[in-house]
Amino acid sequence: MKKNLTTVMFRGTKAQEEQLIAVIEKYRGTKGALMPVLQEAQEIYGYLPIEVQKIIATRMGISLEEVYGVSTFYSQFVLNPKGEVAIAVCLGTACYVKGSGDLLDKITQVLGLPAGSTTPDGKYSLEATRCIGACGLAPVLTVNNEVYGKLGVGDIEGILAKYK
């Protein structure tokens, strides 16, 4: 799926940047270092915005496009930060046949938020995931670490209301 660019303001700290630079230095001279650097950068910042990718590109002496190309190729790299309210809808086979696609559409409609993005204020994020292994509860979504199962479209507004 095409990745959405973030509209959330970057709030990286000096400490995070120092951590990232240390990671880049650790891999200096290693072949194929971009992947592990991106992975660790995502652990530090939670996502890979342009500010972070620029640091990586400049310090590794590669073009920003090369970094971006890799970050958009692999589904595990994310360009949007998780929101305070991080919603994930399972689109695994079982959930999907039980109508999780409709749940996703409903949330998008209520929050005005397409899958794979975060509201500009950083409050909500919405993600479509592969199977999370709770097929017995299909269709399933999670909000932060709470799991909600056996849902219908009618349940969505009630769930969201809890996180206002």
**Contact positions toward other proteins, by CB under 8 A?**
1-3, 5, 50, 53, 57-58, 62-69, 72-73
What's the CA gap between 118 and 122, in Å, rounded? 6
Min dist. Cβ of residue 29 to other proteins (A): 17
Contact present, 126 and 111 (Cβ < 8 Å): yes
Q: End-to-end CA distance of the chain, in Å?
A: 29
Of the two residues 67 and 91, which places its CB atom closer to other proteins in the complex?
67
Q: Which helix (H) or strand (E) holds 51?
A: helix 50-60
What's the CA gap between 55 and 49, in Å, rounded? 10
Of the two residues 25 and 65, which places its CB atom closer to other proteins in the complex?
65
Min dist. Cβ of residue 152 to other proteins (A): 30
Min dist. Cβ of residue 118 to other proteins (A): 16
Helical pair 34-45 and 64-73, crossing angle rounded to 10 deg = 80
**For the residues of 87-155, what is the DSSP string, one character each?**
EEEE-SHHHHHTTHHHHHHHHHHHHT--TTEE-TTSSEEEEEES--S-GGG-S-EEETTEEE-S--GGG
Of the two residues 58 and 144, which places its CB atom closer to other proteins in the complex?
58
Of the two residues 13 and 75, which places its CB atom closer to other proteins in the complex?
75
Of the two residues 9 and 110, which places its CB atom closer to other proteins in the complex?
9
Min dist. Cβ of residue 63 to other proteins (A): 3
Min dist. Cβ of residue 79 to other proteins (A): 8
